[in-house]
Structure 1
Amino acid sequence: MRRLYENLIQQHVAHYQQMLFLAGPRQVGKTTISLTAQALTDRLTYLNWDNQDHRKIILDGPTAVAHHMELSGVYVKKPILILDELHKYRRWKTFLKGFFDTYRNQLHIIVTGSSRLDIYRSGGDSLMGRYFPYRVHPLTVAECVRTAISHTDIHPPTPIESTLFDALFEFGGFPEPFLNKDKQFSHRWKQLRKEQLFRGDIRDLSRIQEIDQLELLSELIKHQAGQLVNYSNLANKIKVSVDTIRRWINTLSSFYHCFIVRPWSTNISRSLLKEPKIYLWDWSDINDIGKRAENFVASHLLKAVHFWTDQGLGNYGLYFLRDKEKREVDFLVTKNNQPWFLAEVKYGDNTSISRQLEMFQQQTKAKHAFQIAINKEFIPVDCFSYHHPVIVPAKTWLSQLI
């Protein structure tokens, strides 16, 4: 199936000279997406650091890579170079800077990685101004019904087939399990991906030796998705320090296993300023339906704020609201550091709206306030035309995002 990010590459190559960085979790489709650039060039070269022959070419330096690409030739469309998992090379940043500064007018460069590319930016000269980053997310409702790129953040509602929505909720948005829609395949795929993440990527690229304890932490996080992170409690269960738990959660976030959402405190009386909430990139790992529903929406919102920001539409952020009386709204999305809309998630089709939505909308002055009903049927109505708290179908509301 066609991905939203294919159009993003096409747009980038047409308008920008900077390198394109595609970062995202393992098996989200980065390599497949990047290889669609074949249609945009007369010569595409793919080099994967995990391939020993490709690694040798990279280690021989920029001149060797240029020779391998035959950059001395004449082309109607600029050659494109894809560098996959290059961040595993200790001097990847120095290599890229030298190569880009020498050959920038002769080609386009796409760099992909299954960990946050920024965490390896140590030593050497800065790449600032030489690249634009794009974060690749799993499939979402909106991407299932629309892959065209526009210059607006909110789109008209578009219906999604119930079978697709149900498969997305059950199997997650990673392409292979979503497309297979088979529980046995999904279980095997998840186990293999977990082994590759912990026994491969994290072990090789971090200094963490206690992989078994890190895996235990990931299991505990799975059961606490959508809850406040209690670092002390996790430290006691795993028998490590609180600082170690903080560092390990940061590592798991860096490899796109989980993500944290922090509390918003501006304009909130008696707001909570401490612990964040934690969610998984793969919401299908969560067995509890209510928790999965909240994580499902959290993942959609994270993808939206990342995409809108990466595309240059503004500076977007994802937060939650909670005060010391434990009154809470699941999510607040900000636009250019100002509250934009609130979202409270309910699995069932509740007829009564959360009182906290109205209260926090008044405090934050957010333009919209939504109660998202996961199992409510699609309605062809623009949810963002309402400025007071409303109950909306997830199938409608999520289709208006990314």
Structure 2
Amino acid sequence: DDALVIQKRQWPLSADLVVFDEIHKMKKWKMFLKGTFDTKPPHMAILVTGSARLDTFRQTGDSLAGRYFHYRLHPLTVKEACEKEAVARDVLDRLMIVGGFPEPYLARDVQDIERWRNQYYTDLVREDIVDFSRIHEVRAIRMLLELLRSRVGSPLSYRALGEDLQIAPNTVRKYVAILESLYIIFLVRPFHRNIARAITKEPKVYFFDSGCVKGDDGIRFENTVAVSLLKNAHYHCDASGKLQELHYLRDKESREIDFVVARDGRIQEAIEVKLSDSTPSKNLHYFKQKYPNIHYTQLVLNLPQAREINGIRVEPAAKWLMNLAV
């Protein structure tokens, strides 16, 4: 019995790697890990894996500080899912339709994909969300999740959502935070540190599972790019300690760029997302003139080859995404 082996620490001491999955369900699991880490042989590595609840629970109770590195596991991206550039576009198209979770991505039957997705979100609501809220709130959270599916890439108004759901804006904010903590959605917030006129405070919402998004190809494409950019930013942070943040840029005159990548509080790259338009957007030109030291890129889904116009790179999205770190 694996549980007994774990409780008594009876795995072989010669093992190079010991893996604990979902160990946060065990009582006093942090104390157990601390004792295991402090008494393990020098050659032994320990890998602890788990659902989003593990990420939440690790931040409470006993501290494991100094004993671990935290890695966030994201859905598949173009970089991971294709072996050669020639199929990158096919991979991107599939990610836009079914998302990057391995089960639906690898499935070949549409019914299997739909069954998996329905079961996945049902289980999340029944098991994980109940851990964070009262049972009577679950219905409202499910309704909020359904509303958010059709608001991807749009500024998120807690007041408007509250009116739709007939609940207070602060309650909506709480429910959104729950969905974030469970890695169902993520928020891309406006960048405002060094550009004083980028003052809007409303975040935009995206789904880790692009297959859950309700919308046209443009919305699904934008969501898939957002997932890839966030994964790349988290990878640099988790693997090398280099803090990267994903934001969008919007100034007082409503000039907007879909995504900006910031490092150490400064924008390094600005990225606009288009289905077919190979001409750099007016907003890219505007910000390029105003802040010339930033790299500007327009990612286009339907584009045969890259080109550069006035210092702005226009890139085929699939090829560009394939060249990210992850």
The answer to whether the superposition gives a TM-score over 0.5 is yes
Q: Secondary structure at the match of 2:238?
A: helix
Name the CA distance, whole Å, in 1 between partners of 2:309 and 2:241: 22
Q: Secondary structure at the match of 1:134?
A: coil
Tell me by how many angstroms 1:272 deviates: 2.2
Which residue of 2 is the match for residue 246 of structure 1? 173
Q: Structure 1, residues 124-147: CA drift from partner, whole Å, max 9, x if none?
A: 44211111111111111111235x
Which residue of 2 is the match for residue 307 of structure 1? 235
Name the CA distance, whole Å, in 1 between partners of 2:94 and 2:60: 44
CA contact (8 A) 1:159 1:395 kept: no
Would the alpha carbon gap of residues 252 and 241 (structure 1) be closer, same or farther in structure 2, given more than 3 Å must change? same
Name the CA distance, whole Å, in 2 between partners of 1:55 and 1:297: 41
Give, as a single letter, the amino acid of the residue that structure 1 aligns with 2:189.
R
Q: Secondary structure at the match of 1:160?
A: helix
Q: 1:208 is matched with which residue: 119, 134, 138?
A: 134
1:396 aligns with 2:323: no
Which residue of 2 is the match for residue 217 of structure 1? 144
Which residue of 2 is the match for residue 229 of structure 1? 156
Tell me by how many angstroms 1:207 deviates: 3.1
Which residue of 2 is the match for residue 132 of structure 1? 69
| RMSD of equivalent CA atoms | 2.3
Name the CA distance, whole Å, in 2 between partners of 1:182 and 1:354: 39
Would the alpha carbon gap of residues 280 and 206 (structure 1) be closer, same or farther in structure 2, given more than 3 Å must change? same
Q: 1:371 is matched with which residue: 270, 281, 298?
A: 298
The 5 A counterparts of 1:37-186 are 53-55=1-3, 58=6, 60=7, 64=8, 66-67=9-10, 69-71=11-13, 75=14, 78-89=15-26, 91-103=28-40, 105=42, 107-115=44-52, 117-121=54-58, 124-145=61-82, 158-186=85-113
Name the CA distance, whole Å, in 2 between partners of 1:255 and 1:388: 40
Would the alpha carbon gap of residues 170 and 208 (structure 1) be closer, same or farther in structure 2, given more than 3 Å must change? same
Would the alpha carbon gap of residues 367 and 108 (structure 1) be closer, same or farther in structure 2, given more than 3 Å must change? same
Name the CA distance, whole Å, in 2 between partners of 1:221 and 1:286: 8
CA contact (8 A) 1:373 1:394 kept: yes
TM-score, normalised via structure 2 length: 0.90
CA contact (8 A) 1:158 1:400 kept: no
Q: Secondary structure at the match of 1:131?
A: coil
Q: Secondary structure at the match of 1:274?
A: coil
Q: Secondary structure at the match of 2:69?
A: strand
Q: 1:193 is matched with which residue: 120, 132, 149?
A: 120
Paired residues, number: 323
Give, as a single letter, the amino acid of the residue that structure 2 aligns with 1:175.
P
Tell me by how many angstroms 1:116 deviates: 5.5
Where structure 1 has 5 or more consecutive residues not aligned to the other structure, the ranges are: 1-52, 147-156
Q: Structure 1, residues 24-48: CA drift from partner, whole Å, max 9, x if none?
A: xxxxxxxxxxxxxxxxxxxxxxxxx
Tell me by how many angstroms 1:179 deviates: 1.5
Give, as a single letter, the amino acid of the residue that structure 2 aligns with 1:358.
H
1:327 aligns with 2:255: yes
The range that moved more, 235-244 or 311-320, is: 235-244
Q: Secondary structure at the match of 1:319?
A: strand
Q: Secondary structure at the match of 1:228?
A: coil
Would the alpha carbon gap of residues 359 and 199 (structure 1) be closer, same or farther in structure 2, given more than 3 Å must change? same
CA contact (8 A) 1:225 1:279 kept: yes
Q: Secondary structure at the match of 1:221?
A: helix
Give, as a single letter, the amino acid of the residue that structure 1 aligns with 2:237.
T
Name the CA distance, whole Å, in 2 between partners of 1:363 and 1:92: 53
Name the CA distance, whole Å, in 2 between partners of 1:366 and 1:93: 46
Tell me by how many angstroms 1:55 deviates: 4.3
Would the alpha carbon gap of residues 351 and 280 (structure 1) be closer, same or farther in structure 2, given more than 3 Å must change? same
Would the alpha carbon gap of residues 162 and 294 (structure 1) be closer, same or farther in structure 2, given more than 3 Å must change? closer
Would the alpha carbon gap of residues 335 and 190 (structure 1) be closer, same or farther in structure 2, given more than 3 Å must change? same
Tell me by how many angstroms 1:121 deviates: 3.2
Q: Structure 1, residues 240-273: CA drift from partner, whole Å, max 9, x if none?
A: 2222211111111111100001110133242124
